[in-house]
Amino acid sequence: MSFLAEGSPVVLGSANPKKAAELVEILGSRIEVVPRPLEIPEIIEDADTFEGNARLKALAISEATSMAALADDSGLMVDALDGQPGVHSARYSGENATDSDNVSKLLAELVEAGAMSSAQRRARFHSVIVLRRPDGAEVVAKGTVEGTISLVPTGEGGFGYDPVFVPLEGDGRTFGEMTAAEKHAMSHRGRALEELVAQL
């Protein structure tokens, strides 16, 4: 891993505890990560692409800590909704939206759009991960998983839109019904992190 000096920890850019835990779980011992310092203020994610938002977060965290920073921006893109919620996935139903609020809005909008069959509910999760050193050098990795949106939420696992996302390469279960290991093996974030590690 020549991009990172041996023994150099990486600061996680995510303030979302569930996302941070997932990143740590997927990476295992391959990259030593430390949590984002609490004193770093919320970073305004106002780019219009996942990569733009990931770069904003990586830059802000790296500059604030003088350490390498790993930032992820991910989201769900639904064909019948013209790619929405996209970069607005976390705040789809408002600034202080819960996962349940966002899922409810998504399902209601699909019904309103007349998208009731699996073919009409095609979607994909996309993740972009940026690893930035304090000297400005960056590694960018991306991952995507294709799927459909279920009619109702199923499963208690994961977070975000996991209870309604059915990956095409799976067995018909939503990400919310899978174990963490099953989800990571095919998830957008898992794929992006594997690509990242391969580039180091």
Specify the 3-state DSSP secondary structure of 167. strand
Q: Please provide residue 64's backbone torsions phi and psi, each rounded to the nearest 5 degrees.
A: -75, -30
Assigned domain for 167 exists:
yes
Which residue, chain included where needed, has tokens 């990931």?
A: 54
Q: How far apart are CA 156 and CA 162, in angstroms?
A: 9
Domain count within the chain: 1
The predicted model scores a pTM of 0.92
Element (H, E) at 53: helix 50-65
Q: Based on the number of CB atoms within 10 Å of its own CB, is 96 exposed (0-12), middle (13-18) or buried (19 or more)?
A: exposed
The CATH number for 84's domain is: 3.90.950.10
Assigned domain for 4 exists:
no
Give the burial string for 18-54 (b: 16+ CB within 10 Å, else e): ebbebbeebbeeebebeebeeeeeebebeeeebbbbb
Assigned domain for 51 exists:
yes
Assigned domain for 131 exists:
yes
Cβ neighbours of residue 168 closer than 8 Å, sequence gap 6 or more: 146, 147, 148
Assigned domain for 1 exists:
no
pLDDT at position 1 is 53
Q: How far apart are CA 182 and CA 174, in angstroms?
A: 11
Assigned domain for 39 exists:
yes
Task: Using the Cα atoms of residue 165, residue 93, residue 100 and residue 74 in order, give the sign of their dihedral.
Answer: positive
Assigned domain for 46 exists:
yes
The DSSP 8-state label assigned to residue 69 in this structure reads E
Do residues 57 and 13 make contact, with C-beta atoms less than 8 angstroms apart? yes
- What are the residue numbers of the active site? 73
Its domain, for residue 137, covers: 10-199
What is the residue-level pLDDT of the chain in tens, covering all 200 positions?
578 877 788 999 887 888 888 888 888 888 888 888 888 888 888 999 999 999 999 999 999 999 999 999 999 999 999 999 999 999 999 988 999 999 999 999 999 999 999 999 999 999 999 999 999 999 999 999 999 999 999 999 999 999 999 999 999 999 999 999 999 999 999 999 999 999 98
Do residues 162 and 19 make contact, with C-beta atoms less than 8 angstroms apart? no
pLDDT at position 73 is 95
pLDDT at position 22 is 87
pLDDT at position 6 is 75
Inter-residue long-range contacts of 173-182, CB under 8 Å, 24+ positions, other chains counted: 174/150, 180/22, 180/25
Do residues 105 and 92 make contact, with C-beta atoms less than 8 angstroms apart? yes
